[in-house]
């Protein structure tokens, strides 16, 4: 690739110091017409230029500062408020911010925010449009986030009216679904399909094992830090919902998988997060959706037909397996970090043997 690129530069009488990212699309078009292109050409060229810059062979890329929009500035200020004044967990903030950003961009775009123009009908219309595309639990999160933001806007003097009261209530009935749990045999199949000879494979194997054996939420995996693991005591400190913290025993197979990734897979980084991105910028995952993407990719690659494509099915799978082995709902709720027994009650719906003992016989016998 580098040799062909050098020949192309020479044919255009360009010297090394004239190299810039702007030339990449031009070369790729040439390569598409005259050479055998590859899907990784663009990434390879980008890494090649980064290497040349690191060696001072070509000038550093000029970064043009983009002006922050009024909506972006408002979202940043609101995020600081949630962290400093409200003390919300990072996982909650990550869930709130996209809804608030979408609301402001839909109402004002890149223009300056004129708060006096905001009306209750704008709020209701936004919620109605968004709710059509979301399931009930996500819709409830949308209304909670938007109500929080609008009350912050009133509290900070941006708006005079209580627009938070205009956020409609989205119906959400509990206990209406059965947990979509991934079976044990499919978890085993997924783990066996992961190539642990690569750094990414060791990372993904450890993530799947943590999800399956400890029943962690995706967000808890994301925010797991190196200091949260007590190797001597065999314990792991979990950062749960609403800032709650608790210790879980560290099973030997989970500990071995994490240790293998830390020794021979985790990139060098100032970040204290256990699991890091494999590509630059090297840092912790942005949010729970990153873990969901890893699970979706691994399931598709292994050809496994799972109940869902997300990470939460492992949490459900652990609960159902523990219930099958005789654990009580109270014990399961304690392990999963449920704040209310009502949350754990849904797993009673999958204990078919226990439910059969409660079922009344059909009058007149079986038909």
Residues with a known catalytic role: 217, 241, 312, 315, 338, 347
Per the rule left: phi > 0, alpha: psi between -120 and 50, beta: everything else, 157 is left
Query: Which residues, 6+ apart, have CB-to-CB distance to 340 below 8 Å?
Result: none
What is the Cα 259 distance to its own chain's centre?
Answer: 23
Torsion of CA 21, 24, 25, 28, to 10 degrees: -170
CA angle 122, 123, 125 (to 5 degrees): 65
Distance CA 291, CA 178 (A): 23
Distance CA 107, CA 113 (A): 9
The number of residues in the chain equals 367
Distance CA 268, CA 244 (A): 29
Annotate 272-320 with DSSP letters as a single string: -BSSB-SSSS--B-SSHHHHHHHHHHHHHHHT---S-SSSHHHHHHHHH
Annotate 77-120 with DSSP letters as a single string: HHHHHHHHTS---HHHHHHHHHHHHHHHHHHHTTSPP-GGG--H
Distance CA 149, CA 163 (A): 10
Residue 235: enclosing H or E segment and its boundaries?
Answer: strand 235-239
Per the rule left: phi > 0, alpha: psi between -120 and 50, beta: everything else, 247 is beta
């Amino acid at each position: 690739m580098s040799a062909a690129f050098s020949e192309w530069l020479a044919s255009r009488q360009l010297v090394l110091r004239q190299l810039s990212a702007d030339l990449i699309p031009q070369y790729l078009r040439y390569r598409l017409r005259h050479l055998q292109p590859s899907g990784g050409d663009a990434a390879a060229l980008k890494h090649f230029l980064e290497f040349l810059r690191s060696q001072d062979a070509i000038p550093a890329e000029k970064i043009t500062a983009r002006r922050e929009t009024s909506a972006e500035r408002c979202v940043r200020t609101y995020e600081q408020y949630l962290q400093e004044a409200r003390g919300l967990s990072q996982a909650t903030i990550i869930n709130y911010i996209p809804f608030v950003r979408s609301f402001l961009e839909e109402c004002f775009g890149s223009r300056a925010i004129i708060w006096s123009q905001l009306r209750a009908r704008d709020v209701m219309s936004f919620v109605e449009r968004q709710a059509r595309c979301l399931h009930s639990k996500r819709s409830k999160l949308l209304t909670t986030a938007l109500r929080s933001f609008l009350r912050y806007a009133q509290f900070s003097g941006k708006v005079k009216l209580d627009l938070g009261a205009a956020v409609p209530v989205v119906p959400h009935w509990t206990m209406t679904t059965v947990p979509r749990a991934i079976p044990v045999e499919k978890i085993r199949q997924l783990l066996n399909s992961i190539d642990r000879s690569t750094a990414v494979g060791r990372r993904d194997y450890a993530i799947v094992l943590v999800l399956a054996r400890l029943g962690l939420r995706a967000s808890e995996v994301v925010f797991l830090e190196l200091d949260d693991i007590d190797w001597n005591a065999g314990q792991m400190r979990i950062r749960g919902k609403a800032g709650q913290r608790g210790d879980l025993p560290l099973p030997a197979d989970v500990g071995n998988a994490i240790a293998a990734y830390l020794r021979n897979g985790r990139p060098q980084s100032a970040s204290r997060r256990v699991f890091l991105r494999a590509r630059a910028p090297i840092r912790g995952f942005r949010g729970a959706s990153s873990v969901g993407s890893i699970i979706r990719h691994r399931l598709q690659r292994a050809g496994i037909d799972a109940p869902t494509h997300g990470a939460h099915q492992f949490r459900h799978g652990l609960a159902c397996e523990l219930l099958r082995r005789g654990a009580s709902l109270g014990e399961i709720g304690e392990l999963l970090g449920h704040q209310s027994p009502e949350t754990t009650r849904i797993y009673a719906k999958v204990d078919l043997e226990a439910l059969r003992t409660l079922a009344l016989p059909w009058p007149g016998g079986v038909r």
